[in-house]
Amino acid sequence: ARDTYDTDVIIVGSGPAGGSAALLLATYGVRTLLVTKYGWLANTPRSHITNQRTMEVLRDLDVESEALAVGTPNELMGDTVLCTSLVGDEIGRIRAWGSGPASATEFGASSPCRHVDLPQNYLEPILVSNAAARGAKVRFDTEFLSLTQDDDGVAALLKDRVRGDEFTVRARYMIGADGGRSAVVEQLGLPLDGQMGKAGSMNVVFKADLSRYVAHRPSVLYWVLQPGAETGGIGMGLVRMVRPWNEWLLVWGYDIEQPPPDVDDATARAIVRDLVGVPDLPVEITSTSLWTVNHSYATTYSSGRVYCAGDAVHRHPPSNGLGSNTSVQDAYNLAWKLAMVVRGEAGPGLLDTYSAERAPVGRQIVERANLSRDQFGPIFQALGVAETCTEETLKKGVEAIRATTLEGAGLRRKLKEAVQLKNYEFNAHGVEMNQRYTSDAVIPDGSPDEVFEHDAELFHQPTTRPGAKLPHAWLVDRDGRRISTLDVVGKGVFTLITGLSGSVWAEAADACAKSLGIGLDAVRIGDEGARDAYGEWSRVSGVPEDGALLVRPDGHIAWRARAGAASSEAALEELLDALRSVLDR
């Protein structure tokens, strides 16, 4: 039957969601066709914050080094400044993306990877070129027009934008990764909650050497409070580094109730000069565009054989830098499921778990990003410019927080608290790392509900409870080199993790792999090749040495045994049951 399909999976869109889906499926050996509307990938920087979880995905895909080679390293990302202009008064600073002393320790312990700044026009070529090199078919200038589906497959009507004609491709499954104005989502009629077009924003991409204003306080983000900063936009004016320190992207708001502004080069240059604070600054405008702040998410990500991912199903402002990260992570959840179902290793029910697992995450990040945007308000209040922000009130506000009086002390405390609140945008480690899945592809182990010891949005809580991501711990390999627990899982297969005294589980895993015909590795932590030399694993494993964890190809824990097996037979039966249940067999 395979030959009656033109491809197994057709992906619409080559952004972070579609590009990573293509790379994942190609890596897993699935026939994949990626179609995308334009002649090339993203031509502007767009999303950029690439968090640890996404870097872990890229590491699993063996492209982490490419991302590190073109991204701006963590060391240059974090000294986030709030100011009245780049040459003006500093209102406060916040060490972002895990770069402050306390959070550096916490973030560092959580992952083998660090945050990197990787603008979308650098990320996409890594995803798509590797996808093509690994066998995905990639078709540019190809527009998705419509789809029909039946019990066996999906037919996509496409337009060749070079020749101008239309043609049909038939696939077993489709991924709709066609962004915030998704035609696929619209045609499927997926339910969307929330509101589109809440506020107006403009991006100005420009070149200017700003080294003398920023290199001593290196950051990706310089937030600028000026009259007008309260209108539209993402909470304040923003000067964002694209390349240190001569390529930039500025974000400024406009009133969505008014007709969209006409931003010509002169207007754009004037806004840049205002935010930098240098009236005759040499500036080269690269491009300008208008966009709106959205607060919208799909409550179901799929219909029939079509699965949607990325901005198609979650639309939100760039606050917290979650757009491209969540898109890559959607694909990471979906790709192995599609691969196993296409190969006949899992039943179709496995695919239902995609929406069950990812829709709650999508909703959470949409809410978080929108709340972060609103949480600039207390800074305006502390400065007394919440009602009216003019040159005059702002100047007064800055003077007031410098006053050598008790009143000044009170305002300073208020301002410090307001700045600290922005940790929920710039150090929301829990939002990034604490995603927990509940679905038929996760088997609860009867342990009590999880209690978060610290703020669940700010702090990562590693756990091996089913549904959580496998915690990172450093191990030592055969050559004495450090490897992460994350390095012994993934690669498109399941992994059974146990300890040296858990051999029955490892043997059961080998038997299950044979009897189910699936990829299932067994790793005994403690063996040569995966020694717990630092004792890190035993501190986070959550199971005794003779217990076991079944880790899915996406690094999430499907099942765990919190005690040793009674016998080889019992181990085999228990593990086989777990796998059958997870894989819908």
Q: Where do contacts with ligand FDA occur on this chain (CB under 6 A)? A: 12-18, 35-38, 44, 46-47, 120, 143-144, 177-180, 183, 203, 289, 291, 310-312, 318, 321, 323-324, 327
Q: For strands 284-298 and 221-224, give the pairing.
A: unpaired
Provide, rounded to whole angstroms, the least separation between the CB of residue 106 and ligand FDA: 23
- Residue 38 or residue 452: which is nearer to ligand FDA going by CB? 38
- Residue 206 or residue 559: which is nearer to ligand FDA going by CB? 206
Reduce the DSSP state of residue 457 to 3 states and report it.
coil
Distance CA 285, CA 283 (A): 6
Instruction: List phi, psi (to 5°) of 288.
Output: -135, 150
Provide, rounded to whole angstroms, the least separation between the CB of residue 184 and ligand FDA: 8
Provide, rounded to whole angstroms, the least separation between the CB of residue 142 and ligand FDA: 6
- Residue 17 or residue 549: which is nearer to ligand FDA going by CB? 17
The answer to whether 545 and 530 have CB atoms below 8 angstroms apart is: no
- Residue 313 or residue 530: which is nearer to ligand FDA going by CB? 313
Provide, rounded to whole angstroms, the least separation between the CB of residue 167 and ligand FDA: 13
Ordered alpha helix ranges (H), 158-261: 183-188, 211-214
Provide, rounded to whole angstroms, the least separation between the CB of residue 124 and ligand FDA: 8
Provide, rounded to whole angstroms, the least separation between the CB of residue 564 and ligand FDA: 44
Give exposure, 316-328, as e/b (b: 16+ Cβ within 10 Å): bbbbbbbbbbbbb
Provide, rounded to whole angstroms, the least separation between the CB of residue 320 and ligand FDA: 8
Rg over CA atoms, the chain: 25
- Residue 127 or residue 572: which is nearer to ligand FDA going by CB? 127
Per-residue three-class SS string for 280-298: CCCCEEEEEEEEEEEEEEE
- Residue 179 or residue 200: which is nearer to ligand FDA going by CB? 179
Structure tokens at 566: 């009674």
Q: For strands 137-139 and 32-35, give the pairing.
A: parallel
Provide, rounded to whole angstroms, the least separation between the CB of residue 241 and ligand FDA: 12
Per-residue three-class SS string for 504-562: HHHHHHHHHHHHHCCCEEEEEECECCCECCCCHHHHHCCCCCCCEEEECCCCEEEEEEC
Structure tokens at 463: 């756990």
Per-residue three-class SS string for 370-408: HHHHHCCHHHHHHCCCCCCCCHHHHHHHHHHCCCCCHHH
- Residue 43 or residue 501: which is nearer to ligand FDA going by CB? 43
Provide, rounded to whole angstroms, the least separation between the CB of residue 309 and ligand FDA: 7
Provide, rounded to whole angstroms, the least separation between the CB of residue 417 and ligand FDA: 26
Chain position carrying tokens 């899992």: 346
Residue whose CB is nearest to ligand FDA in the complex, by number:
310
Distance CA 375, CA 368 (A): 10
Query: Which residue in 24, 233, 203 sits closest to 128, CA to CA?
Result: 24
Q: In angstroms, what CA-CA distances link 132 with 31, 32, 73, 195, 349?
A: 11, 10, 27, 37, 29
